Structure 1
Amino acid sequence: MNAKQPAGEREVSVTAFPKYYRLTKTDEYSSVFGFRKALKSTHFLLHYRLRAAEEGAGARLGLVVAKRLLRRSVDRNLIRRLARENFRMMRCRLPSRDLILRLAAKPQTLDRRVLAEEIRGLLGKMISPER
């Protein structure tokens, strides 16, 4: 029943987060930051850059959570998990862009619901046609 599938024939779930939906290289981050377009919320900045047709389709996500804002790694990882989860749920509706979600201000409390709603709000702004 659980036969292994060849690597080239694996099915990717709609909500999966494989490597090709992530920004991994320094040049990829630099190109998004260099484009200088961003949306702001209370605690986050969402930097974005349009992707060319030859770069492939679909949105990709990069995360920046500075240690100077959240000293504990548990807290930084919480922010990353929330961001990845919300990106996975909204990825199929997002336009073909490279996105970097950056924590810009230290949250007073780490309320998961509030932070997740803020992330969803920023990603939802990318779906709207005027951007």
Structure 2
Amino acid sequence: MVKLSFPRELRLLIPSDFTFVFQKPQRVSTSQLTILGRLNKLGHPRLGLAIAKKYVKRAHERNRIKRLVRESFRLYQYQLSSMDFVILVKRGVDNLTNPVLTQMLEKLWHCYYF
């Protein structure tokens, strides 16, 4: 049985993890979101979030976006390659509704299926 949880080992937690992804990423993006990915040797994907105040001013909007991204990753984790992912946002992402943002993330994850 598949567990659809989001435990600590599926998160990028320390700066060196983020630096590893930023060095040589595979990039997939839309006009509001970018997903950077880099293969890891852990056997499972991990997620890191970089939601800048510069692009999403209000904290409740940043939290909403983070919640939706985490939920999307949680549902797709077993279909993704063993990669470290960092989600970056661009201007206008806070204007997207939840269904639109979820659908956008779903399309972007398809680029990283194994």
Normalised by the size of structure 2, how large is the TM-score? 0.92
Partner of 1:4: none
Please list every run of 5 or more consecutive structure 1 residues that lacks an aligned counterpart in the other structure: 1-12
The count of corresponding residues between Structure 1 and Structure 2 is: 113
Structure 1: which 4+ aligned runs deviate by more than 4 Å?
none
- Larger RCO: 1 or 2 (CA < 8 Å, sep 6+): 2
Cα offset for 1:108? 6.3
Match of 2:77, SS state, is helix
Please list every run of 5 or more consecutive structure 2 residues that lacks an aligned counterpart in the other structure: none
Spell out, residue by residue over 1:26-75, the C-alpha distance to the aligned partner (whole angstroms, 9 max, x if none).
000001011132111121110010112xxx21100001110011111000
Normalised by the size of structure 1, how large is the TM-score? 0.81
CA contact (8 A) 1:43 1:105 kept: yes
Spell out, residue by residue over 1:52-108, the C-alpha distance to the aligned partner (whole angstroms, 9 max, x if none).
2xxx21100001110011111000001000000000000011110000111123236
CA shift in 2, pair 1:29/1:108, >3 Å: closer
- Which AA in structure 1 matches 2:109? L
In terms of Rg, which structure is larger? 1
Please give the root-mean-square deviation of Cα atoms over the aligned residues, in Å. Answer: 1.4
Partner of 1:111: 97
Partner of 1:90: 76
Identity %: 27
